[in-house]
Amino acid sequence: MSWNITATGTKGAVRRKVADTTIHGDQAQGEAAKAFISQVLDQVPTNGVVVEASGHHDAYGANLTINVRSISLVLDEPNEAAEPTTADEQETS
């Protein structure tokens, strides 16, 4: 059984996308990968990130690939990457 996670954007947006991804396949492997990706995102030095992760597990073996690349996002507005702190701010942004 296989699973895949792909996300590109600000660190906060990617963190949410990874956390919200439903793993179809090896649940333990997928959830461990999501936890690892979350930890690695804290170390990315730029405002943007690309995450590509996939895994496969069957009766003959398992494999896991995680690629996290930092990118410099060019945003239209300087505060576009800022995270809203409350539900009210999310609705009005």
Query: What counts of helices (H) and strands (E) characterise the chain?
Result: 3, 3
Q: Are strands 61-71 and 2-10 parallel, antiparallel or unpaired?
A: unpaired
Domain ranges of the chain: 2-92
- pLDDT tens digits for range 56-77: 988 898 899 999 999 988 877 6
What is the pTM for the complete model shown? 0.74
* 79/25 Cα distance (integer angstroms): 38
Neighbouring C-beta atoms of residue 33, cutoff 10 Å: 23
Q: Are strands 48-58 and 61-71 parallel, antiparallel or unpaired?
A: antiparallel
- pLDDT tens digits for range 4-18: 999 999 999 999 999
The encoded tokens of residue 5 equal: 């996670």
* 8 Å CB contact between 29 and 64: yes
